[in-house]
Amino acid sequence: MNAVHAASATPSRAQARRGEGNRLREEILAAATRLLIETGDEDAVSIRAIARAVGVTPPAIYLHFADKDELMLAMSEQQFAEFDAGVEAAGRTTTDPVESLRRRAHAYARFGLDNPEHYRILFMGRVSTRDPARLPGRAAFDHLVDAVARGVTAGAFPSDLDPFLAAVGLWTAVHGLTSALISMPRFPWPDVETILDHVCAVHLRG
Amino acid sequence: MNAVHAASATPSRAQARRGEGNRLREEILAAATRLLIETGDEDAVSIRAIARAVGVTPPAIYLHFADKDELMLAMSEQQFAEFDAGVEAAGRTTTDPVESLRRRAHAYARFGLDNPEHYRILFMGRVSTRDPARLPGRAAFDHLVDAVARGVTAGAFPSDLDPFLAAVGLWTAVHGLTSALISMPRFPWPDVETILDHVCAVHLRG
DNA sequence: TGTACATCAGTGAACGCGCGTTCACTGATGTAC
DNA sequence: TGTACATCAGTGAACGCGCGTTCACTGATGTAC
């Protein structure tokens, strides 16, 4: 008999103060991320569903994002930054450049398996036709090339090794495993750590 | 001034004869495949769009498929069969088991690059929650295991090599390259054949 | 050979749904005088 | 200190759209007698 029953229509949050325009923006991105994780379906992350989750009406979204594409792109960039930071942190836990690459690979795969829907968007989605100049994952890849190059200068790899080519090979191998695990969970996979270490061993030898 | 102008509404095909129930079924699957290639977007392959492409009304689809899921599953199975046949054929063009695996890998990648949208559905999509017993790509994978096993019996690989594990490694590596090429076409990829041969060389050595 | 009838491949109209986006508005918050 | 006003973060209602699916039907094809 009280107002709580009308919850779906009543806004559940107070209007932001003057300078706090970014508060809702961040709440929107957080809600989008949460929705993606909970539903496990990119299609379920709609403007309307996000607005519902935040406790705001759909048009309020447009106060902070020009359209849906821009919202999704912003979420991707946020996720890419988090992914990159995680892999970099894992790589810094040792000074041995080869072991460092191995730990990066494990952190990479773990991110994918822990956040399969975000992994899909970041690495398996369609390129947004939006802004061709903005290649979102590029920074993360460049960091991998740097890590390989450090291995070369440290003498762990042959000096004529092309760090870019080696990085491509390592990346596609780890990505192949990660994305296959995500897309085909019912396949009778052998132990993940075992395959991953095998992949690393193969690639970090030549 | 003639009837042609009303094309969008007028059916453009004759009704099937008595025993020809399967004709429309095949036309539907062909149209779905064609739509997927032309639009490059799985979402564009709707019941209504397929009906439009075939020249039939939407309810006619339900004469041949229980619902949309079943239609998409049938298309997937058709594509998987084609993919499998193509890879097998490539593998049979030589008697050398190692070279045979290399040719299989190239055929695999070529299929993906030639039919990116089908590749997405077959290898990068979500598992249909439909019929858990039916793992559509399993036959193709088993053929790969067989091919590796032939290499072992021929003495090309160490006799203690586990063909299943080796097949998983080879598959995920080639899949990683293929899917990355599809998802990130703007990445400054090195020459595809070169990376692919490199991947094969790495995996077909140990 | 002719006709009544069953079969079957489709049609046409409608259903309810959720979507992205626009538009005119409201009401609280802060500011100038 | 009080009041008129501008600003700004949101609301509420509506738009047009394409979707999957259902339902009662039609009309051509074949069959039994």
Going by pLDDT thresholds of 50, 70 and 90, the confidence category of residue A21 is low
Q: Which residues of A touch B174 (CB under 8 A)?
A: 176
Residue of B126, B186, B198 lying closest to A132 (CB–CB): B186
pLDDT at A6 over 50: no
Per-residue model confidence as pLDDT tens digits over A29-56: 999 999 999 999 999 999 999 999 999 9
Per-residue model confidence as pLDDT tens digits over A137-190: 889 999 999 999 999 999 999 999 999 999 999 999 999 999 999 999 989 999
- Scanning B66-133, the segments in alpha helix (DSSP H) are 68-91, 97-114, 116-119
Which of B35, B125, B43, B144 shows the shortest CA–CA distance to B76?
B125
What is the model's pLDDT at position B126?
83
Helices B68-91 and B21-39 meet at what angle, rounded to 10?
Answer: 80
What is the model's pLDDT at position A204?
83
Smallest CA–CA distance, residue A166 to chain B, in Å, is 10
Phi, psi (deg, nearest 5) at residue B189: -65, 140
Buried b / exposed e over A115-140, threshold 16 CB at 10 Å, is bbbbbbbbbbbeeeeeeeeeebbeeb
What is the model's pLDDT at position B22?
80
Which bases of chain D are contacted by protein, using any atom under 7 A from a CB?
8-14, 18-24, 28-30
What is the model's pLDDT at position A14?
64
Give the rounded distance of the alpha carbon of A148 from its chain centre. Answer: 21
Segment B179-201 shows an average pLDDT of 92
What is the model's pLDDT at position A2?
35
CB contact under 8 A, B180 and A198: no
Nucleotide closest to residue B57 (CA–C1'): C11
Averaged pLDDT score across all residues of chain A = 88
- What single-letter DSSP state applies at residue B122? I
A173, B176 contact by CB (below 8 A): yes
Kindly report which listed range (A102-106, A130-134, B95-99) carries the lowest average pLDDT score: A130-134
B80, B140 contact by CB (below 8 A): yes
CB contact under 8 A, B202 and A199: no
B196, B107 contact by CB (below 8 A): no
Segment B2-23 shows an average pLDDT of 51
Which bases of chain C are contacted by protein, using any atom under 7 A from a CB?
8-14, 18-24, 28-30
d(CA A192, CA B201): 23
Run of H or E residues at B141: helix B138-153
Look up tokens 């899949």; give the residue: B175
d(CA A121, CA A69): 13
pLDDT at A135 over 80: no
Which of A175, A149, A138 shows the shortest CA–CA distance to A91?
A149
- What is this structure's pTM? 0.90
Helices B163-183 and B138-153 meet at what angle, rounded to 10?
Answer: 130
Kindly report which listed range (A12-16, A200-204, B56-60, B71-75) carries the lowest average pLDDT score: A12-16
